[in-house]
Amino acid sequence: MAGNFNRSEFFATFKAEVDEHLNKLSKGLVRLEKKPDDFDLIKDLFRTAHTLKGVARMMGFFEIQEISHRIEDIFSAVTDKRLKFVPKIASIIFEALDSIKSTVSSIAGNKKVTIDVSSICSNLELCLPQDVSIPEKKSKKSSRKAKKKEENAASPAESIPPPQVESAVAITASDSEFFTSPSEEYIRVPLSRINKLLNLLGEMVINKIKASQKIITLKKINKLTKNFQRRLAAFSEEFKNNDDFCESASFDYALEALHQCNVDAEKIKEEMLDIFENISNEAIHTDPVVDELQERMKEMRMLPCSSIFDEFPRLVRDIAYEQAKKVNLVIKGEETELDKKVLEGIKSPLVHILRNCVDHGIETSLARRKLGKNEEGTIELSASQEGGQVVIRIYDDGKGLDLDKIKQIIIKKNLCSEIELSAMNDEQIYAFIFKSGFSTSPIITDISGRGIGLDVVKNQIDKLKGKVHIESEKGKGVLMILELPLTIAIIDVLLINVSNQICAVPMLSIEEALEIKADSISTVENKLVTQVRDHAVSLSRLGDILGIAPIVEEKNAKQSKTLSVIIVKSLDKRVGFIVDGVIGEQEVFIKNLGVHLGKVRNVSGATVLGTGEVVVILDVADLIISSRLSTAAPAQERVPSVKGKTKKRILVVEDSLTTRELERSILEVQGYLVDTAIDGLEGLDKLAQAKYDLIVCDVQMPRMDGFEFCKTFKQNERYEGIPIIFVTALAKEEDKRRGIEVGAQAYIVKTAFDQSNLIDTIQGLIG
């Protein structure tokens, strides 16, 4: 015998289906008000109400079933032409749909259902013609008995109840304590997307198996390395303890030990080359798989704009009905997909904008007739994907924005001076309507005037890394354009260097990156300003904004150098930030800062680079606000002095893994910050990303040896003051002489190397 039917397991699916039916009924009712004789639409709404009734009955939610049944009766009467559909009926059905939505929300939130089902059903029954018989109201218990009796009298096919419905019937929607935990949120995903993910997963499993084999190989290499080190240690001990080493029998032992070490070294080299080739080949095949997997995972979170657009016809209809206006909402591009998080974030701003379109954009029918317009106003909501972003346009053919009135309010509220206002273009002036409390309406209503609540729109779109543009013509309407990223989880950023720290700036906010001459900067009203393509751009030192101490530079280089500048834009504001260098563009995955940090000024999140380094992602809107508070005073005057000793940073350039890690360990124990590079080319890359106080370098290395590395970086005046110590096995005098010629401050031969020698040399150079 089957177990009891557990509604909670199916509630999430039930809720999603009910929401879909409610949206379909709402959209259909709005269309039916305009075309009351569209019988195909009426039949479709009848079927939707019938389905909603059936699924509510199956789940045992009789309040929803009863309301749906009455709605079904109304559509049935209209279909049979026994009832004429009028807007008043639509309003009553809308109220009933709201009650169903409220009921489902109460159940989902584990709250008691408080709606008056009898009153709602009575209102719906009043819409029906007199010849429609309505069953008497009975108690739940008697109602169930009657229902059971009715089912027994039905035809054999109809009298077979669904499995375990009886157990469900025993519980009504008011028994919300049935649910012990909130329902989980779901999204619908096409099966084709799941299949693509499974195929990619298969590729990743193959790579996982290969990676396991690499671990076995690496363990083997580790064992060979330990044997190699053990033989070297034994040889070293023999050499130290025997004064007559060369004349003793130990000499043969030493030769044998060295020979075996050489054999082990060759084995390690062969194994390493083999694993290097294998990993390189796998990386070539894995990279596109991971890229595609990333794209498919982004698709999993993508939902069509219709998931929120479907609610707007009802919204516009209700507001227009209250104000006795005729408004037609046209929706285009609702199949355009956006990240679920972006969709959730944009819903509230769109509600504000649409409310304003109806309330203060669209004129009354009488006013439109006088202006020679169609009595019915039009609002067009469209979405389209353009490049790597989605553009949402909201257009209304109403009275448009009154530019002169906006200017008057700007001056009245002292938002800027008349001189500044005269220099602004129309779009810059329109941007003031996004200021908190800005409104051209003489009264404030519960429907937000154009400007009331638009600061919320701006703030929310800024959080979504989007942009807003406004175009308007007085008497002809307003076009509002929202530019939004497809997803806010994975974005393109520009990596920049700020006082030897890497930061990331979202590419969507960057207008351009360029280099300017230091002498092209002037000071206007205690602000740094430069000319970029005949336009004045305000400048700020990004290090000052972030509170990062600047790098101390040579005084004679300050006047002649060029400065790296990134120009960012948020809405109407355009600011340039002086940085120490531009590293390049990269796609990153954003991680939030967590509840323990909350909102940090000038920072929107963080990411982890391929090197494992954690990098903050800067909040451009915050940076622009902070830049307005900064001045052109020297950075050194505003950065507080740091008490205590600052740790020195050292770069170790060495191709041998063992030597590299040994030197790192020695230096870190002494309190130095240590970075490493495997050869001269990587060493140059490290120098470009961070500031170092000293370099410890080998000579014999692949790609670029130590002498060439030293000669190259010493030619750059930015690095010429950094001391370098060669630690190498080359012991000939000509090698030492060449090391000094290329600019080394010390030359330590590995055969004579010991820990104290290296530490003493470093302390003598940098302390």
Taking CA atoms, 727 is separated from 15, 664, 696, 739, 749, in Å, by: 70, 13, 7, 11, 6
The answer to whether residue 310 scores a pLDDT higher than 70 is yes
pLDDT top residue among 262 and 116: 116
Chain segment 475-487, per-residue pLDDT in tens: 889 999 998 887 7
pLDDT top residue among 106 and 131: 106
Rounding to the nearest 10 degrees, give the CA dihedral for residues 218, 223, 229, 232: -130
Rounding to the nearest 10 degrees, give the CA dihedral for residues 248, 250, 255, 258: -140
Whole-angstrom Cα distance, residue 184 to residue 15?
11
pLDDT top residue among 500 and 203: 500
- State percent of the chain over pLDDT 70: 73
- State percent of the chain over pLDDT 90: 9
pLDDT top residue among 441 and 402: 402
With 0-12 / 13-18 / 19 or more C-beta atoms within 10 angstroms meaning exposed / middle / buried, residue 155 is exposed
Q: What CATH number should be reported for the domain whose range is 304-485? A: 3.30.565.10
Name the band, by pLDDT with cuts 50, 70 and 90, for residue 330.
very high
* Cβ proximity of 750 and 719 under 8 Å: no
The answer to whether residue 103 scores a pLDDT higher than 80 is yes
At which residue do the structure tokens 């050292």 appear? 650
Q: What is the mean pLDDT of the chain?
A: 76
Q: What CATH number should be reported for the domain whose range is 7-178? A: 1.20.120.160
Whole-angstrom Cα distance, residue 153 to residue 171?
24
Chain segment 42-76, per-residue pLDDT in tens: 888 888 888 888 888 877 788 888 898 889 889 88
Taking CA atoms, 491 is separated from 201, 494, 593, in Å, by: 23, 10, 17
Whole-angstrom Cα distance, residue 325 to residue 316?
10
Q: Measured on CA atoms in the order 15, 19, 25, 26, is the torsion positive or negative?
A: positive
Q: For 507-532, what is the mean pLDDT?
A: 81
The answer to whether residue 373 scores a pLDDT higher than 80 is yes
First to last CA, the chain: 83
Give which of 279, 375, 10 is closest to 168, Cα–Cα: 10
* Cβ proximity of 17 and 30 under 8 Å: no
Q: For 416-424, what is the mean pLDDT?
A: 80
- What pLDDT does residue 378 have? 94
Taking CA atoms, 250 is separated from 227, 262, 353, in Å, by: 20, 18, 91
- What pLDDT does residue 504 have? 92
Q: For 639-645, what is the mean pLDDT?
A: 38
The answer to whether residue 671 scores a pLDDT higher than 80 is yes
The answer to whether residue 112 scores a pLDDT higher than 80 is no
Chain segment 17-27, per-residue pLDDT in tens: 888 888 889 88
How many C-alpha atoms does 196 have within 13 Å on its Cβ side?
16
What letters, b where the CB count within 10 A reaches 16 and e where it falls short, cover 86-98? Answer: eeebbebbbebbe
User: Which positions ≥6 away from 105 have C-beta within 8 Å?
Assistant: none
CATH for 649-766 (3.40.50.2300, 3.30.1330.60, 3.30.1200.10, 2.60.40.10): 3.40.50.2300
- Least confident window among 28-32, 184-188, 608-612: 184-188
The answer to whether residue 132 scores a pLDDT higher than 90 is no
Whole-angstrom Cα distance, residue 731 to residue 751?
8
How many C-alpha atoms does 210 have within 13 Å on its Cβ side?
16
- What pLDDT does residue 157 have? 30
The answer to whether residue 344 scores a pLDDT higher than 70 is yes
Residue type, 372: G
- What pLDDT does residue 246 have? 54
| Domain coordinates in residue numbering, the chain | 7-178, 191-300, 304-485, 491-638, 649-766
Q: For 453-467, what is the mean pLDDT?
A: 77
Whole-angstrom Cα distance, residue 696 to residue 711?
14
Judge if 7-178 and 491-638 fold alike in CATH terms: no
Query: Which of 421-430, 666-675, 693-702, 709-718 reaches the highest mean pLDDT?
Result: 693-702
Chain segment 239-295, per-residue pLDDT in tens: 666 665 555 555 666 667 677 777 777 777 777 777 777 777 776 777 677 767 766
Give which of 46, 105, 29, 40 is closest to 313, Cα–Cα: 29
Q: For 594-617, what is the mean pLDDT?
A: 77
Global confidence as pTM: 0.52
CATH superfamily for domain 491-638: CheA-289, Domain 4 (2.40.50.180)
Whole-angstrom Cα distance, residue 32 to residue 45?
10
- What pLDDT does residue 2 have? 39
- What pLDDT does residue 81 have? 85
* Cβ proximity of 696 and 653 under 8 Å: yes
